[in-house]
Structure 1
Amino acid sequence: MSSSGHISKNKIIALEELAAKIPDGASVALGGSFLHRGPFALVRELIRQGRRDLEIIKQSPGYDIDILCRTGVVTRARTGIVAMEGNFGLAPWYRRRIEEGNLLLEEHACASLTAGLRAAAYGVPFQPCGGLQGSGLAALNGWQTLEDPYGSGESVYVIPAIRPDFAVIHANEIDAQGNTRVLGTSHWDRIMSRAADRVLVVAERCVDTLTFVDRPEATLIPYFLVEAACVCPQGAWPGSNYPDYEIDYPAIDAYLAPGEDALERHLASAPEVRATAERSDTHV
């Protein structure tokens, strides 16, 4: 039952089925920030399924866009700051793709990308964004200014609407209907889920719907916005997921090692792979 009393279908499917919903060429907004609460298990599953020509939309990606660049999955991006955070510096394979001219980049500030997503969420063609004066981003992207219609004499840059085909969010908890809860900061996940055409969720655990009924204010994404979801414990690995686990720094060090062997070892050591192997062992 939903909180309104209507019967809703069970939206929980396998990780493989969830990733299969994203076709080649799609634009995908990824939740989280840097190494924190990103939907990394689904990102790795897109690699395993051989997806190609994706566009990634995210204010502050890192590991996710880097591994997608490393494996040739992504050819377009709309991003703000991109890095593996202070411990590891810049995202090396992302940077390489940019330098080689193999990634079409629409460079943003985090605020301008958020403004574009807000415009899509609000159903308007553009959204004002402050703080861009003096930056080369406006000229680079052809962003226009509008004068204040209320007579202040000031002008403001306006950012065109950005509507991703998909938003993929990693969450702490979900129920079978798709109600989604994030503990701690939600970063830009709320506006992504309102801007995208379709919303997919990867969650640490499935909980009873009554826990959402009892605390409706803690629901980040209501069930009627969610198309499908999967339950994947440690799905944000090697990143963190507050308060369940912290960043796995040795795993990121191992990922950053050069060579196909390092990448294959990294993908093979992911929690979703180990979980699949354990389930197979129990059925032998």
Structure 2
Amino acid sequence: MKQTTLEQAAKLVRNDQIVTIGGTLSQRIPAAMVRELARQGVKGLHLVKASPGYDADVLAAGGCLASVRAGMVTLEQPFGMAPNFRKAAERGELDVIENACPAVMASLQAAAYGLPFQAVAGFAGSDVPSIAPFATVKDPFTGNDTLVVPAIRPDWAILHVHEADVRGNARIYGTPVWDRLMSRAAKRVILTAEKIVDTSHFVAQPEMTVVPEIFVEAVVHAPSGAWPTAVFDCYDIDEPAMRHYLELSRTPDGFRKYLEETASQDRRALGVAA
């Protein structure tokens, strides 16, 4: 059985590790886990994700990040840019490795396939290859120069799913975004789940399993664990709550208050099936 509490699962993530976080922008972010990481004061994390939003902003506000490799960082409309991420970047508190979304995912895909790098295309006329860690190799079939990106194998993929069992099998309804790939690229996976269901639920329709148990280290029962971001077919973005976060996180004291305010809600994740 891999089911545990939010606090114990967050303790698995150590300073200076590489993490990739599921969902995208303000959609199906493992927000309760992200806030718990900030509460526990983890430092020096290297976030690898094509399109982070609320997750990158919270971790930046908490001083948890050493670097972010991403194609874009934003909270989506109507909330605009990720202000705490931007401030941390402008102050030089974290290293922004500017990239493109497909290139970030190609680096994860290379890791998932056990390859040292992967070829990428579509960058003709772009400045990205000159500022991101791209390289050029000779195509052995044509002799042409080919852009490649390095494999990146995160220490952890942290994902929020609709359903999981205590063994770590998981389903995501609607688009999985890049979560399936993240689970294969990372060394281990931490899941937070809206529901904990019996394993027979997965046996009945194995083709619906997005993340199989072999990749998973810990499972947390976290109802509304993506709040204030959205989860398809469960709840929408909580706009007042998002604006409350943005207001409080303007100052370090306000951000600490925000973490305290949300602690009881986040930690109602029991870790044990009822």
- Normalising by structure 1, we get a TM-score of 0.90
Q: What residue number does 1:4 align with?
A: none
CA separation of 1:43 and 1:142: change in aligned 2, threshold 3 A: closer
Q: What residue number does 1:38 align with?
A: 29
| Structure 2 counterpart of 1:230, from 195, 208, 220 | 220
Please give the alpha-carbon distance, in whole angstroms, between the structure 1 residues aligned to 2:114 and 2:269.
46
Q: What residue number does 1:3 align with?
A: none
Q: CA deviation at 1:150?
A: 2.5
Q: What residue number does 1:56 align with?
A: 47
Q: CA deviation at 1:131?
A: 1.0
Quick check: 1:172–1:181 contact (8 Å CA) kept in 2?
A: yes
108-117 or 131-140, which moves further after superposition? 131-140
Q: CA RMSD in A?
A: 1.7
What SS does structure 2 have at the residue aligned with 1:81? coil
| Structure 2 counterpart of 1:73, from 53, 64, 67 | 64
Quick check: 1:254–1:262 contact (8 Å CA) kept in 2?
A: no
Cα offsets for 1:185-231 (capped at 9, x unmatched): 00111111111111111111100111101111110011111111111
* Residues 71-220 of structure 1 mapped to structure 2, 5 A cutoff: 71-151=62-142, 154-220=144-210
Q: CA deviation at 1:275?
A: 6.3
How many residue pairs end up in the alignment?
Answer: 268
Q: CA deviation at 1:50?
A: 1.4
Please give the alpha-carbon distance, in whole angstroms, between the structure 1 residues aligned to 2:226 and 2:150.
31
What SS does structure 1 have at the residue aligned with 2:217? strand
Please give the alpha-carbon distance, in whole angstroms, between the structure 2 residues aligned to 1:278 and 1:118.
32
CA separation of 1:277 and 1:29: change in aligned 2, threshold 3 A: closer
- Structure 2 residue runs of 5 or longer lacking an equivalent are none
Q: CA deviation at 1:142?
A: 4.2
Match of 1:16, as an amino acid?
E
Q: What residue number does 1:5 align with?
A: none
User: What percentage of aligned pairs have identical amino acids?
Assistant: 42
Q: Does 1:12 align with 2:40?
A: no
Q: CA deviation at 1:261?
A: 4.9
Please give the alpha-carbon distance, in whole angstroms, between the structure 2 residues aligned to 1:247 and 1:173.
19
Q: Bigger radius of gyration, 1 or 2?
A: 1
Q: CA deviation at 1:146?
A: 2.8
Please give the alpha-carbon distance, in whole angstroms, between the structure 2 residues aligned to 1:107 and 1:172.
31
